Amino acid sequence: MVESMAKFKIEDALALRAGKNFQIDSVDASATPGFDGDKAALDARFSKYDDELYELQERLFANGRSYGEDAPAVLIILQGMDTSGKGGAIRHVLSTFDPQGTTTVGFGKPTEEELEHDFLWRIRKHDPQPGQIVAFDRSHYEDVLIQRVHEWVDEEEVDRRIEAIRDYELELTAKGVKVIKIFLHLSKEAQNENLLERTEREDKFWKYDPADVEERAYWDEYMAAYQDAIRRTDENYAPWYVIPTDNKKYARMALKFLIVDLLRHLDLEWPAPDFDPEVERQRIKDAD
């Protein structure tokens, strides 16, 4: 019997890997690959690995506390067009974790100080420390994408930045950081609905930025820039996954499953004690 597609699996999430021949127009942003269940089934699958995910993250954090620089770390990079739900994905997925071991960094428009340095200067300050999971809401890729779309830099500089990004991500992996990159692929139609909602709901007014409407005029240019950047920087040490995102709950589920797979492959054990448990148990008893 074929397993129901309502039972989205980790293998289905891994199948969203972009690859060197990635074609952005081949991905239907409104689709839910590997899943055809209803809302209740989606909610159930979303929570399937929560207990395991919490333990895996605790093991990572514990290894960082116990082994210092010898412990691994994780960097999750989320990119996507405006209203694609990057912040929401981070909030819903990382809420499973112990806050001590997780950090979210949002990168907006560079400050005057940041513009005085190379584009990676402000990024490097947030490199994950051993035992930590760091999520970037936008990232160093912004300095390739938006700069290229608006032709604020020439193609030679775009090439230089892409090579710098490849070197940076390879450098991170050499330090024990596991890098995973997610493009939340939203359709132009869904973005239109999301922008309208931000002008209609009081609790979403604060999210609305008129500039987002102006950027829609460059949609095709952004898609081309994303496709090229993803193709040129998708590597086994820093893979790209393209998740259809019109259904945001589906996107969050897929992201969570990818993180489960990554943490499983760290294959971490609980740190061994640096004391004799039997001796310490006796000391505790004797102290009473």
Rounded Cα distance, 122 and 159, in Å = 20
Q: How many CA atoms are closer than 13 Å to the CA of 84, on its beta-carbon side?
A: 23
List of residues 6+ apart from 147 with CB closer than 8 A? 153, 157, 158, 161
pLDDT, tens only, 9-18: 999 999 999 9
CA pair distance 195, 192, nearest whole angstrom: 5
166-188: average pLDDT: 98
Residue 271, helix vs strand vs coil? coil
Closest CA relative to residue 120, chosen from 174, 161, 172: 161
Q: Is 137 exposed, middle or buried (0-12, 13-18, 19+ CB in 10 A)?
A: buried
Q: Which domains does the chain have, with CATH numbers?
A: 10-286 (3.40.50.300)
pLDDT at residue 97 is higher than 90: yes
Contact 241, 179 (CB under 8 A): no
Helix (H) or strand (E) holding 40: helix 39-46
How high is the pLDDT of residue 3?
Answer: 54
Confidence (pTM)? 0.94
pLDDT single digits (tens) 33-69:
999 999 999 999 999 999 999 999 999 999 999 999 9
